[in-house]
Amino acid sequence: MKKNMVSVDSLHKEFPSKVICKSSSFGIHEGDKIGLVGINGCGKSTLLKMLSGIEPMDEGQITIRNGVKLAYLQQIPHLDEDKNIYEQIYYSDQGAFVLLREYYRISDLLEHEATEELSENYRQIMTKLDAIDGWKIEIRARSLLSQMGFSDFNQKISTLSGGQKRRLDLVRVLLDEPDLLFLDEPTNHLDISTIEWFQDFLISFSGAVVFVTHDRYFLDAVCTKIMEIENGVFRFYESNYSGYIKQKTQEIVDSQRKETRLKAQLSKELQWLNRGARARTSKPKNHLDRVKELLSKSYLTDSNELDISFGSKRMGKTILEIKAINKAYGDKKLINEFSHNFQKLERVGIIGANGCGKTTLLKMIGGEIKADSGSVKAGLNTDFAYFKQNTDEFEQDITVLDYIQQFASTIRTADGTKFSATEMLQKFLFEGKMQQSKIYSLSGGEKKRLYLMKSLMFGSNFIILDEPTNDLDIKTLEILEDYLDAFRGCLLVVSHDRYFLDRTVDYLFVFENGEIKKFPGNYSDSLLVRRFQEEAKKEEKKIEKPDTRIRKVSTKLTFNEKRELVQIEKDMEEISCRLEELHNKIETEAASLNHQEFGEITGEQDILQERLDEVEMRWLELDEKRD
C-alpha cells in the first residue's frame, strides 16, 4: 500500500468574490500523478500555493510527512536579476551545490594562502562531496540547461525573456531532486520536443506530482488521477484525462440531463485524444496507408518547392503573399528565403525549437518588424486578428464589461446575429457577477481569456495566434476550438500544444535546421511519419547486418574470423579506455568546461558507446562459435 505524503484536512479558502475550497479533505500518496482541472479563476494555482506553504489557508490543516522534500514551480519565477544563469543554479539550496560553492571558495583561497586550516577544510569538503557523489550534480546541471535551450551559461538573468526565465526555474526545480513536485503550467514556454522529453521524465519520475496544465496530451500521458475543481468543491477521478472525459460523459447520461451540447463537446474531445494517442503509441506500419498518403505529399519539402491549395477557387484578390523573405539578428539566421502564398481557408500551424524564429515570422506578417529582404503582401480585403503572447496593458480599475464596451457594445456574428457585450461575455465564461468585477481582481488566465475575446470579436478573416493556449484553462480552449471550427477564414497559429494543433490545423510550417519546411498534415500526422522513417532506418540497418547466429555453416572459426576476433578484442579495449578517459575528463573538469566543449565530449561518448555495442555483439557471435 502506498504511503501518504500529504494529508489535507478540512481545508477552506475564499476571497471576497469567490470560494476556492469548502472544507475539503484529501491525501497525496507516493507515486500519485494528479492533474488539476477547472476553469481559470477556480483556484488551481491558489491550491498549489497553499500546498507549498506560500498562500495561507483560512481554515484547516495541511500535514507533510517528515522527510518529504517538495519543490514548487510557479507561473512567474522569482530569480535574482543580478546573477548569471550558472550562478542562479549554483546558489540553489540543494546540498551538493552548497558544498560545491564552498569547495570553489576554498580552492580560490588556497591559491593565495595555503594555510593548514584551509587545507583541512578542503579535505573535509572533498570527502563530503565524494560521499554524496556531488560532482555528478554539476554534470546534470549542464545537461539540463542544454536540454532547456541554454548555451551561454554566463548570460545575465536580467537579459532573459520571460520564457527563458521560466525554463531556468524548471531546471532549478528538477535539480533539487524533490520527492513531491507542484507544477503550475510547466509546459508554458517549452517547445514541443522539450515538452515530450519532460513528459517522459514525469512518467518515469518515482515521486509524486500535482500539476496544472492546459496541455491535454501531456495531462493524458502523465496523470494517474484527475482532481476537478468546481465552485469550491474538489472531486477525484482515478484515471488519466481520457478516463476522466469518459466518466464525465457517463455522468451526463446517468443524470439524464439535456445538456446535449456539453455531451457532444466531451465526445469530440475524447475522439481527438484517442486519435493523438494512437499516433504516439501504435506502430506506424499499422497506419501504412495514411503514412503513404502523407509521404506522397512531399513530407517536409523545402519552402520554395511546394505551394498548397485546398481545391477552392481563388478569391480573385491576394490573401497573403510571402516572397523569399530573410531575417537574421547578427550572425543568427532565423528565416532563409521563405515563400508561401496563402489560399482560402488555409489552417497552418508553426512548430520548432524555442528561439528559432516562429514569433519573428508572425511579427513580419503583422507588420511589426520588417524582413531583411523579400516581401510580405496582404490583400486589400485581408483583415487580420492578431492574438499576441503578451496581453493588453489593462486599465485595472474598470470592470470586465466596461473593458469590452469600450470597443463595442454590440457584436455581430458570422451568421448576422447581434449579441450584446453582456451576452458575448457569457459565451466566454464571464457570468453576470463576474462582468462587474474589476480587472485587477481577475486571475492571469481570466485576463488572457478577456484579451482573447477582444482579439476575435471584430469579424476578421485571417486569424494569427501566438501561443494562444498559455495560461488558458481547458474549457476556454474548447470554446476557442469550437469558434475556429466554424471560422471561415485563414488561420496561422504558433503553439506548443499538440492537442490544440491537432484540433485546429491541417498543415504545418516546421522550423528545422535553419529552414522552414512544409508538412501536409497536423502534429500527430507528422509524428506518425517521423516514427515511420525512424523505424525504416532501423530496418535498413538490420538488413545490412546479416544474422550470423541463425545461418551458421560451420561450428568452428575460419582463419579470417579468428583474425577478426583478435582485432575486435583490441577495438573493445581501445574504445573502453577512451570512454573511461572522457568520463574522467567530465568528472574532473566539469566546472571549467564550456557548453561547446561539454557537448563535444558527450557527443563523442554517444558515438563510441554505439560503436562498442556493435563490436560487442559481433564478439558474442564469434565467441559463441569458438565455444
pLDDT greater than 90 at residue 375: yes
* 523, 294 Cβ separation under 8 angstroms: no
* 512, 519 Cβ separation under 8 angstroms: no
Q: Are strands 384-387 and 208-212 parallel, antiparallel or unpaired?
A: unpaired
Selected residue with higher pLDDT from 240 and 537: 240
Q: What is the pLDDT of residue 590?
A: 54
Q: Are strands 59-64 and 4-15 parallel, antiparallel or unpaired?
A: antiparallel
pLDDT greater than 80 at residue 6: yes
* 226, 507 Cβ separation under 8 angstroms: no
Q: What is the pLDDT of residue 475?
A: 84
Give the pLDDT confidence of 454-497 residue by residue, as tens digits: 888 776 889 999 998 888 888 888 888 888 887 888 999 999 99
In this predicted structure, which of 280-294, 319-333, 401-415, 575-589 has the lowest mean pLDDT? Answer: 280-294
Confidence of residue 433 (pLDDT cuts 50, 70, 90): confident
Give the pLDDT confidence of 254-273 residue by residue, as tens digits: 665 555 555 666 666 666 66
Report CA 573 to chain centroid distance, whole Å.
41
Report CA 32 to chain centroid distance, whole Å.
21
Give the pLDDT confidence of 309-334 residue by residue, as tens digits: 222 234 447 899 999 999 998 888 89
C-alpha cell at 336: 532563409
Q: Give me the count of residues in the chain.
A: 627
SS (H, E, C) 387-418: ECCCCCCCCCCCEHHHHHHCCCCEEECCCCCE
Selected residue with higher pLDDT from 414 and 339: 339
Q: Which of 21-35, 69-83, 404-418, 559-573 has the highest mean pLDDT?
A: 21-35
Domains in the chain (CATH in brackets) are: 298-532 (3.40.50.300), 546-626 (1.10.287)
> 460523459: which residue's cell?
249
Percent of the chain having pLDDT more than 70? 83
Q: What is the pLDDT of residue 586?
A: 67
Distance CA 260, CA 268 (A): 12
When the pLDDT of each residue in the chain is averaged and rounded to a whole number, the result is: 81
pLDDT greater than 90 at residue 180: yes
* Count of other CB atoms within 10 angstroms of residue 437: 18
In this predicted structure, which of 293-302, 567-576, 613-622 has the lowest mean pLDDT? Answer: 293-302
Q: What is the pLDDT of residue 31?
A: 93
Q: Which of 20-29, 142-151, 574-583 has the highest mean pLDDT?
A: 20-29
The torsion angles phi and psi of 235, rounded to 5 degrees, stand at -130, 135
Give the pLDDT confidence of 107-139 residue by residue, as tens digits: 888 888 878 888 888 888 888 888 887 778 878
Q: What is the pLDDT of residue 298?
A: 40
What amino acid occupies position 486? Answer: A
Q: What is the pLDDT of residue 509?
A: 94
Which residues, 6 or more positions from 139, have their beta carbon under 8 angstroms from its beta carbon? 586, 587, 590
Long-range Cβ contacts of 292-297 (<8 Å, 24+ apart): 294/519, 294/520, 294/521, 294/525, 294/528, 294/529, 295/529, 297/520, 297/521
Q: What is the pLDDT of residue 314?
A: 40
Distance CA 421, CA 398 (A): 15
Q: What is the pLDDT of residue 288?
A: 54
Long-range Cβ contacts of 377-382 (<8 Å, 24+ apart): 377/318, 377/320, 377/321, 377/322, 377/323, 378/318, 378/319, 378/320, 378/462, 379/315, 379/317, 379/318, 379/319, 379/320, 380/317, 380/318, 381/315, 381/317, 381/461, 382/318, 382/319, 382/320, 382/461, 382/462
pLDDT greater than 50 at residue 153: yes
Percent of the chain having pLDDT more than 90? 28
What amino acid occupies position 64? Answer: I
Which residues, 6 or more positions from 236, have their beta carbon under 8 angstroms from its beta carbon? 26, 225, 226, 227, 228
Q: What is the pLDDT of residue 16?
A: 80
Confidence of residue 392 (pLDDT cuts 50, 70, 90): low
Average confidence (pLDDT) over 353-369: 89
Q: What is the pLDDT of residue 472?
A: 84
Please tell me the pTM assigned to this model.
0.69
* 530, 584 Cβ separation under 8 angstroms: no
* 194, 222 Cβ separation under 8 angstroms: no
Confidence of residue 302 (pLDDT cuts 50, 70, 90): very low
C-alpha cell at 57: 489557508
In this predicted structure, which of 340-349, 379-388, 596-605 has the lowest mean pLDDT? Answer: 596-605
* 125, 103 Cβ separation under 8 angstroms: yes
pLDDT greater than 70 at residue 347: yes
